[in-house]
């Protein structure tokens, strides 16, 4: 039987209005998730660098860089969903 945590615990529902039960992640899964998120953040920072925009901002120098950011965020989300499924 898969172990789950309550949706009000472990702060895993801070920005998720749909899922209310989560399984406990292993240390390896937590590390994988962190690595994927770090890679995504580094890629998005590089988009800001090549576009000459502020890394803490949400504006990009071109539509292409904005789309690259959107796809990077989607890729990270889907990879994390795979890990946490």
Report yes or no on 39 lying in a domain.
Answer: yes
Classify residue 41: in a domain, yes or no.
yes
What's the number of domains the chain is made of?
A: 1
**Domain assignment of residue 66, given as a range:** 25-84
Q: Is the pLDDT of residue 19 over 50?
A: yes
pTM: 0.74
> Per the domain annotation, does 8 fall within a domain?
no
More confident residue, 11 or 69: 69
Q: Tell whether 57 is covered by a domain.
A: yes
CB atoms under 10 Å from CB of 76, counted, come to: 19
Instruction: Compute the mean pLDDT over every residue in the chain, rounded to the nearest whole number.
Output: 85
CA atoms within 13 A on the CB side of 77: 8
Predicted pLDDT at 14: 54
Give the alpha-carbon dihedral of 35, 37, 39, 43, to 10 degrees: 180
Residues facing 22 on adjacent strands: 5
Q: Token match 């890990």: residue? A: 83
* Sign of torsion over alpha carbons 57, 18, 32, 76: negative
Residue 8 pLDDT level (bands cut at 50, 70, 90): very low
Statement: residue 9 has pLDDT above 80? no
């Amino acid at each position: 039987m898969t172990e789950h945590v309550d949706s009000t615990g472990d702060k895993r529902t801070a920005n998720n209005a749909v899922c209310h039960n989560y399984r406990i992640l292993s240390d390896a899964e937590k590390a994988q998730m962190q690595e994927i998120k770090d890679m995504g953040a580094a890629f998005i920072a590089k988009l800001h660098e090549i576009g000459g925009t502020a890394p803490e901002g949400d504006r990009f120098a071109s539509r292409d860089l904005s789309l690259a950011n959107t796809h990077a965020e989607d890729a990270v989300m889907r990879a994390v969903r795979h890990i946490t499924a």
